[in-house]
Amino acid sequence: MEIIEKAPAKINLGLDVLEKRTDGYHELEMVMSSVDLADRLIMEEIAEDKIIIETNKAFLPIDKRNNVYQAASILKKRYGIKKGIRIRITKNIPVAAGLGGGSTDCAAALRGMVRLWDLDLSMAELIDIGMEVGTDVPYCLYGTTSHIAGKGELVTPLRPMPQCWVILVKPRLSVSTGKIFQEVELDQLHHPDIAALSAAVLAEDYPAMIAAMGNSLEAITIPKYPIVQQIKDRMMKYGADVALMTGSGPTVFALCQKYSRAQRVYNALKGFCDEVYLVRTLK
């Protein structure tokens, strides 16, 4: 039997960095939403007690460095599963881009393995496994627009963000999230109003949502990688309602309610960067 799971990319409508925790992580407050750019995972049980990862991208690791491999290993060990599994990952989400590609693949693998092996696991149990792999995994297990707190483990679903078009632009560089957080100085960051953003999403108030959006980490990433600001400026010049970096970058996204404007922004960025996507928000 084959199990197929879709693994959608995420964007940060809001990201605020709060105080540093005793465990070394930063306390975060965020609003995330998923978009219709997704990887695809196909899972099947194999008789031999091993984990086999296959992918369409030659540069991706298929061993213990892979998030999906880690999730499978933890789940098998924790619940005494002696059967093996083959997981084929078709990657469409850019890597190291702030779009949660590795985390959403991990979440999809956990959902798929629960179905494959008919496991009666609660969301709390899945989140516990996911947090061992990455702090964005808990959100990705839910997938709907949500408020996130703690270091990523506290997820409160809101309601789907107002429907709109999303233009994603990934410049030809990678950003290390760990290195960005090492340079966080709280008094030098812009702190978006995450409570107002959450309220706007709940009220389905698109203009209020746009006004409240923001990402604290732009203050660190943009000086290091000026192209992020150049992409934002170009998006706004061609009619985006808002343009914002997602995660620690370098991917920038724009939102447009009108398809004609979204198409114009998309066309304006296609020649500027290689990886440009025009997608919808997910209901």
Domain residue ranges of the chain, discontinuous segments joined by +: 1-155, 163-278
What is d(CA 261, CA 164) in angstroms, rounded to the nearest whole number? 11
Residue ranges of the binding site for ATP: 94-104
Q: Kindly state the helix (H) or strand (E) to which residue 116 belongs, with its residue range.
A: helix 101-116
| Long-range CB contacts (within 8 A, 24+) of 183-190 | 183/220, 184/17, 184/20, 184/26, 184/217, 184/220, 186/17, 186/18, 186/19, 188/219, 189/17, 189/216, 189/217, 189/219, 189/220, 190/214, 190/216, 190/218, 190/219
pLDDT score, position 22: 87
pLDDT of residue 111: 98
Q: What is the CATH number of domain 163-278?
A: 3.30.70.890
The confidence score (pLDDT) of residue 20 equals: 86
Position 104 scores a pLDDT of 98
Q: What percent of the chain has pLDDT over 90?
A: 90
Nearest to 219, CA basis, from 253, 187, 267: 187
| Residue 185 burial (10 A CB sphere; 0-12, 13-18, 19+) | exposed
pLDDT for res 231: 98
For residue 146, which of 9, 277, 12, 52 has the smallest C-alpha distance?
12
Q: What's the sign of the alpha-carbon dihedral 221, 61, 69, 117?
A: positive
Mean pLDDT score, 149-153: 94
pLDDT band at 174 (very low <50, low <70, confident <90, very high): confident
Distance CA 107, CA 208 (A): 31
Second CATH level (architecture) for the domain 1-155: 2-Layer Sandwich (3.30)
Q: Which positions are catalytic?
A: 10, 136
pLDDT attached to residue 106: 98
233's enclosing H/E stretch is helix 227-237
Res 14 pLDDT > 90: yes
**Is the per-residue pLDDT at 19 higher than 90?**
no
Q: What is the pLDDT of residues 27-86, one digit of tens each?
A: 999 999 999 999 999 999 999 999 999 999 999 999 999 999 999 999 999 999 999 999
What confidence tier does 171 reach under pLDDT thresholds 50, 70, 90?
A: very high
Task: State pTM to two decimals.
Answer: 0.94
Distance from C-alpha of 166 to C-alpha of 58, rounded to nearest angstrom: 28
The pLDDT tens digits for 73-94 are 999 999 999 999 999 999 999 9
For residue 221, pLDDT beyond 90: yes
